[in-house]
Amino acid sequence: MYRLYDFLPSGNGYKVRLLLTQLEIPFERIEVDIRMGASRNEEFLQKNPNGRIPVLEVKPGIYLSESNAILIYLSQDTDFLPADRLEAAYVMQWLFFEQYSHEPYIATSRFWMTILDQADQYRKELLQKLEPGYAALSVMEQRLTEHPFLVGDRYTIADIALYAYTHVAHEGGFSLEKYPGIQAWLDRVQAQPNHIEITQI
């Protein structure tokens, strides 16, 4: 059985939990409290030298890290990853967009404000995150006002990856009020079979 090293409030961990659940693949979850440094001790660094969750223990002693790499691995040959080469490439495009242009602003702000509850201490940094975070949301909005999902016309791991932190953007101080396309898409994602909430296990 897969073992997932995870931190329950993490959107990156949630991506993997959500896909495993929707694929109906059973897994064991190990909680790693990153606030307490549990992803930086020697034992954990053996699993991921980069000191981050989630980590999927694919088979005993074989560890895979990077949430979006895990999504790709698990979705091979399933409906969650298009078989068409160009559509699969667009899934990858959104996955890298998520990690480079979205997560560092929206997820990091949420981490400071809601997970650490230190909005005051990070006030200046939070302000700097607003412009690039909203820019990322605008790129999504442009796609989602014209299309039901991020790639093609159906739900893929690209939607899972972007949903993870977008649906809790308000916990990082981002309002989705001006993004009706995103709001409608959030509803479509939540309506998928076997959907679970971020802290639901």
Residue type, 138: S
**Side-chain half-sphere CA neighbours of 69 within 13 A:** 10
Distances in whole angstroms, Cα of residue 143 to Cα of each of 31, 129, 149: 35, 22, 8
Residue 180 touching a copy of itself (CB under 8 A) = no
Residue 23 touching a copy of itself (CB under 8 A) = no
Residue 58 touching a copy of itself (CB under 8 A) = yes
Q: How many residues does the chain have?
A: 201
Subset of residues 62 to 91 that bind a copy of itself, contact rule: CB under 8 A: 62, 64-70, 72-73, 76, 85-86, 88-90
In the block, residue with structure tokens 């909680």: 31
DSSP 53: S
Residue 122 touching a copy of itself (CB under 8 A) = no
- Output 161 or 189, the one with its CB closest to a copy of itself: 161
Residue 97 touching a copy of itself (CB under 8 A) = yes
DSSP, collapsed to helix, strand or coil, labels residue 117 as coil
Burial class (CB in 10 A: 0-12, 13-18, 19+), 120: exposed
Site string for a copy of itself, 127-156 (x = CB under 8 A): ---------x-xx--xx-------------
User: Residue numbers of the site for a copy of itself (CB under 8 A)?
Assistant: 49-50, 58, 62, 64-70, 72-73, 76, 85-86, 88-90, 92-93, 95-97, 99-101, 103-104, 136, 138-139, 142-143
